[in-house]
């Protein structure tokens, strides 16, 4: 079973990775490139222009060298779709309906063994979106935060930071309607899945015994060392400081709930 791990990054994290192997997006890329699994690729979608700051992005030498020395790493220049850039350009590129696509973040270190676990989970859930964090369990214990669970749990919203695995067949042209309409792309992604009646499942990892809501649980080892100046926070601040934009986004989320996309 082949996997494509898909992610994006921002200019600041590319720049500080030029200065240190332990900051920016480089540590996350290295943990993703060193998974103990043979059949996978890492697709890094790098916007040509970072729209939030109207900044042209140049691929730094360290990243070109990393791609040259790692056959699994593929760099793609794309348009900027906000946080959806981690997934949408890959969906546009990939045509095999059976291809598994996993989204990841560029500021987290990931555990080895993640892909092997996903292979087993995909065999159990061939037609569902699966991941390791979500919001608002459907039924079950009625938990809001599902970052570690005692048993597999169906949720209303999947959170992408702990990775989510899709099949390319989940997506068609209608996905475009849910892309880049809100900085909270977890909601856009989950609303689309609900619209398509695709179940969203948070997976139990047997070695997790601490079920408090937390980031540092499988498959996340922890945050990389970086200055938190960019990334999704910039979109959050822009929305919070613009009342009209904030109200627009709130109305979109409200409509998705009313239509039932975030209730199933």
CA distance 152 to 175: 26
Residue 204 phi, psi dihedral angles, 5° rounding:
-75, 135
Residue 202 has pLDDT above 60, yes or no: yes
CA distance 9 to 50: 10
Residue 137 backbone class (left: φ over 0; alpha: ψ -120 to 50; beta: rest): beta
**What pTM was computed for the model?**
0.93
CA distance 59 to 7: 15
The pLDDT of residue 209: 92
Share of the chain above pLDDT 90, in %: 74
**Per-residue pLDDT band at 66 (split at 50, 70, 90):** very high
57-75 burial, b at 16+ Cβ within 10 Å, e below that, comes to beebeebeebbeeeebbbe
State the average pLDDT over residues 20-41.
92
The pLDDT of residue 59: 95
Domain boundaries, the chain: 3-258
**Per-residue pLDDT band at 53 (split at 50, 70, 90):** confident
Q: How does pLDDT run across 220-261, given as a tens digit for each residue?
A: 998 887 545 444 554 555 555 677 877 888 899 999 999 999
CA distance 95 to 168: 7
The pLDDT of residue 97: 98
The pLDDT of residue 230: 47
Handedness of CA 175, 223, 199, 96 (dihedral sign): positive
Quick one: fold of 3-258?
A: Spore Coat Polysaccharide Biosynthesis Protein SpsA; Chain A (3.90.550)
């Amino acid at each position: 079973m082949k996997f494509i791990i898909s992610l994006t990054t921002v200019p600041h994290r590319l720049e500080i990775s030029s200065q240190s192997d332990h900051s920016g997006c480089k540590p996350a890329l290295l943990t993703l490139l060193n998974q103990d699994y043979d059949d996978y690729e890492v697709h890094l979608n790098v916007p040509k222009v970072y729209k939030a700051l109207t900044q042209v992005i140049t691929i730094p030498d360290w990243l070109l060298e990393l791609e040259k020395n790692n056959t699994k790493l593929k760099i793609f220049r794309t348009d900027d779709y906000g946080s959806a850039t981690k997934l949408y350009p890959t969906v546009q590129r990939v045509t095999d309906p059976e291809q598994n696509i996993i989204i990841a973040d560029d500021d987290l270190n990931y555990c080895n063994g993640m892909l092997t676990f996903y292979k087993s989970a995909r065999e159990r859930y061939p037609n569902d979106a699966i991941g390791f964090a979500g919001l608002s369990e459907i039924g079950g214990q009625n938990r809001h935060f599902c970052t570690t669970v005692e048993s597999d749990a169906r949720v209303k919203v999947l959170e992408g930071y702990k990775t989510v695995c899709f099949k390319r067949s989940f997506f068609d042209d209608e996905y475009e309607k849910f892309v880049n309409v809100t900085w909270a792309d977890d909601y856009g992604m989950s609303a689309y899945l609900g619209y398509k009646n695709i179940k969203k499942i948070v997976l139990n990892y047997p070695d997790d015994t601490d079920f408090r809501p937390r980031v540092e649980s499988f498959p996340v080892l922890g945050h990389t060392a970086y200055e938190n100046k960019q990334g999704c926070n910039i979109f959050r601040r822009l929305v919070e400081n613009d009342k009209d934009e904030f109200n627009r986004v709130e109305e979109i989320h409200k409509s998705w709930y009313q239509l039932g996309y975030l209730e199933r």
